[in-house]
């Protein structure tokens, strides 16, 4: 790679890091996960340092929805940056709606089904000495959790679009 290509690569990286869309993505995800972790700490649902870090960076379900916060922040920031009448904003809206529908419907239904399957497995395991492995109970979101994520994402998108200039 020659010097000019290296400079161009650094400029592209700098543009990415300074992009309000990119910053809103990172901030929305980390904010939602931080709030979710604080709520879980207050509810005494975190019992170890490893559970704390898992909740902080990776856990699903709970208040607020980090998936919803991210897509709403992206959609909002794109709207302010590129215009609310652009194709890219409309695509962002479409993906936001799909993500929210998934959080409320498919992922939630899958989690409920997994809980029921595990209940049946525990019942059968205790009855006939059958060892049935449990399935992972992936949590979806309740409507209030999705609403919380949407409000958080909207606020972050507005703040990073209108008030923070890097």
| Spans of all domains in the chain | 3-163
- Model pLDDT for residues 107-165, shown as the tens digit of each residue: 777 778 888 888 888 887 767 667 777 877 766 778 899 999 999 999 999 999 988 76
- What pLDDT does 1 receive? 62
3-state SS assignment for residue 61? coil
- What pLDDT does 135 receive? 76
Q: What is the mean pLDDT of the chain?
A: 86
Q: What's the rounded Cα separation, in Å, for the pair 42 and 37?
A: 9
Lowest mean pLDDT among 72-81, 100-109, 134-143: 134-143
Mean pLDDT of 55-73: 87
Mean pLDDT of 85-105: 93
What pLDDT band is residue 97 in, cutting at 50, 70 and 90?
Answer: very high
Q: How far apart are the first and last CA of the chain?
A: 29
Q: How is residue 39 written in tokens?
A: 């709520």
Query: Are 140 and 109 a contacting pair, CB within 8 Å?
Result: yes
Q: What's the rounded Cα separation, in Å, for the pair 79 and 40?
A: 33
- What pLDDT does 128 receive? 67
Q: What's the rounded Cα separation, in Å, for the pair 81 and 127?
A: 61
């Amino acid at each position: 790679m020659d010097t000019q290509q290296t400079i161009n690569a650094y400029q592209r990286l700098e543009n990415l890091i300074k992009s309000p869309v990119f910053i809103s993505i990172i901030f929305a995800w980390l904010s939602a996960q931080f709030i979710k972790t604080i709520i879980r700490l207050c509810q005494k649902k975190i019992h170890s340092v490893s559970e704390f870090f898992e909740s902080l960076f990776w856990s699903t379900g709970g208040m607020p929805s980090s998936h919803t916060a991210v897509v709403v922040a992206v959609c909002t920031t794109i709207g302010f940056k590129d215009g609310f009448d652009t194709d890219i904003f409309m695509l962002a809206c479409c993906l936001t709606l799909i993500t929210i529908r998934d959080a409320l419907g498919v992922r939630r239904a899958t989690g409920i089904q997994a809980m029921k399957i595990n209940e049946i497995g525990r019942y059968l395991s205790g009855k006939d000495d059958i060892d049935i492995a449990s399935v992972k109970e992936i949590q979806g979101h309740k409507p209030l959790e999705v609403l919380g994520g949407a409000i958080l994402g909207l606020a972050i998108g507005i703040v990073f679009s209108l008030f923070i200039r890097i």
